[in-house]
Amino acid sequence: MKTTFIGLLFLIAPYINAQEKIRTFQLSDAPRYSEETGYGYDLTDTPEKGSKAPFFFSVRVPDGNYQVTVRLGNKKQAGVTTVRGESRRLFIDNLATQKGQFVDETFIINKRNPRISEKESVRIKPREKAKLNWDDKLTLEFNGDAPVCQSISIKPADPSVITVFLCGNSTVVDQDNEPWASWGQMIPHFFGTDVCIANYAESGESANTFIAAGRLKKALSQIKKGDYLFMEFGHNDQKQKGPGKGAYYSFMTSLKTFIDEARARGAYPVLVTPTQRRSFDATGHIRDTHEDYPEAMRWLAAKENVPLIDLNEMTRTLYEALGTETSKRAFVHYPAGAYPGQKQDFADNTHFNPYGAYQIAQCVIEGMKKAVPNLAKHLKIDPAYNPAYPDNPDTFHWNNSPFTEIEKPDGN
């Protein structure tokens, strides 16, 4: 009898430990975030009853992937809720609930800080120090026409979850503030609970500076067998001049480092050619502004037998389909005064707004289905997107986050 009882304890112990890791927060009586509590409402005012204003909730957690379940709804009011995480990564988009209706939605989110080891840290830029991606908290943004959430449950994700590490520049990075956005922060919306997107991209980076800053080393400290390492560079690399520089020289050497390091850990490298700039010729066609960098990536993909998503060609099709004028609506083109403190017109032909970022994310998904089908089979949402027939910008609905940035991202 004693032996049977001890055996039973061994059987149920893992279950007990797993349950202890789940933390559930009821939002109705939650405090403000503090270092003492380690959780609570953050960044903006605590929402009042019946409020339709966006709000934030943070929980202090170690580095890693987390399974988050939000119970959306309210007993006394209908809601339309969008959930974003960390630096505006999109997870739940405009989910409607009726008065008294509650819906549980679960997603996987990656949390990180700059520390690589006791002696090393990522050399983040001064403007990154305030980014939600790099702090010690997991922060969720509840936005939408009428955001409503009853509770949040958080636990460490199952180790079997596939992590997709994104490496790149300002066209990939999680942009914290309106009106800027990039495809990397839209991609999480399309995956379920068996894939996590870890976006390590940063504005202004080239392949070699990404390595030099310790960003690749940080990703490699977290990567495991079966994960993916996506690389989209070229915008800033082409500005590097001098001996040893160039698409088929230092650029190739850096990308080969990414590939070799990923494979050494049993992970899968994937090359992504750089997004086109919005640069039209007199006939309404996109000019190639990336010199031979996209072609060099295609050559390397063939030589190293690495999957390639040709975003350069897909964004050419996308911009030409939108046309010279309508394509401005995919980029940060806004008249002075459109955002607080904006004294001059925005006319940026490299960096996207949320609509543009969402279109390009769908291009990446389509490219993924062809080049990386084993990853694409984990899609929760399959948009069946064709860049020759982009979504109508008039029908795209995005509730702005409360924070804006007048300074453009690094890089061009």
pLDDT score for 17: 40
Q: Are residues 151 and 166 in the same domain?
A: no
In this prediction, residue 19 carries a pLDDT of 41
Same domain for 332 and 286: yes
Angle between the N-to-C axes of helices 311-326 and 354-371, in degrees from 0 to 180, rounded to the nearest 10: 150
Mean per-residue pLDDT over the chain, rounded: 93
- Burial of residue 389 (CB within 10 Å: 0-12, 13-18, 19+) is exposed
Is residue 344 within 8 Å of residue 366, measured between CB atoms?
no
- When mean pLDDT is compared across 1-10, 20-29, 331-340, the lowest value belongs to 1-10
SS3 358: helix
Say yes or no: 150 and 167 in one domain: no
Average pLDDT over residues 149-166: 98
In angstroms, the Cα distances linking 159 to 113, 156, 172, 370 are 19, 9, 26, 27
> Which pLDDT tens digit goes with each residue over 246-301?
899 999 999 999 999 999 999 999 999 999 999 999 999 999 999 999 999 999 99
Distances (CA, A) of 277 to 199, 280, 350: 22, 9, 5
Residue 306 placed within a domain: yes
Question: Please, which pLDDT band fits residue 11 given cuts at 50, 70 and 90?
Answer: very low
CB atoms within 10 A of CB 235: 25
Domain identity same for 115 and 204: no
Average pLDDT over residues 374-378: 97
- The reply to whether 2 falls in a domain is no
In this predicted model, what pLDDT tens digit does every residue of 30-85 receive, in sequence order?
Answer: 999 999 999 999 999 999 988 999 999 999 999 999 999 999 999 999 999 999 99
Predicted local distance difference test score (pLDDT) of residue 391: 97
Q: What is the pLDDT of residue 237?
A: 75
Single out the residue in 91, 123, 156 at which a domain terminates: 156
Q: What is the mean pLDDT of residues 91-103?
A: 97
3-state secondary structure of 291: coil
Q: Is residue 380 part of a domain?
A: yes
Identify the pLDDT of residue 244: 82
Residue 305, Cβ neighbours under 10 Å: how many? 7
* CB neighbour class for 324 (10 Å; exposed up to 12, middle 13-18, buried from 19): middle
Q: What per-residue confidence (pLDDT) applies to 14?
A: 40
Query: How much is the pLDDT for 243?
Result: 85
Residues 132 and 177 in one domain: no
Number of domains in the chain: 2
- Same domain assignment for residues 95 and 188: no
Which residue range is the domain that position 336 belongs to?
Answer: 160-411
Domain assignment of residue 36, yes or no: yes
Of the candidate ranges 117-121, 233-237, 339-343, 356-360, the one whose mean pLDDT is the lowest: 233-237
What CATH number does residue 132 fall under?
Answer: 2.60.120.430
Q: Does residue 7 sit within a domain?
A: no
* 315 part of a folded domain: yes
- Give the per-residue pLDDT at 3: 43
Strands 195-199 and 346-352: unpaired
Both 140 and 189 in one domain: the answer is no
Q: Taking a C-beta distance cutoff of 8 angstroms, is the pair 66, 108 a contact?
A: yes
Q: Is residue 349 part of a domain?
A: yes
> 175 and 26 in one domain?
no
pLDDT at 12: 39
> So what's the pLDDT on residue 170?
95
pLDDT exceeds 70 at position 1: no
Last residue of a domain, one of 113, 141, 156: 156
Residue 10 lies in a domain: no
Helix, coil or strand: residue 180: coil
3-state SS, residue 295: helix
pLDDT beyond 60 at 4? no
Whichever domain contains 249, its CATH number is 3.40.50.1110
| Per-residue pLDDT band at 13 (split at 50, 70, 90) | very low
Residues 366, 225 within the same domain: yes
Q: What is the mean pLDDT of residues 133-152?
A: 97
Per-residue pLDDT at 185 exceeds 60: yes
Q: Are 192 and 149 in the same domain?
A: no
Query: Do 77 and 30 have their domain in common?
Result: yes
Among the candidates 97, 131, 156, a domain finishes at: 156
pLDDT > 50? residue 357:
yes
Q: Same domain, yes or no, for 184 and 40? A: no
The predicted model scores a pTM of 0.93
pLDDT > 80? residue 171: yes
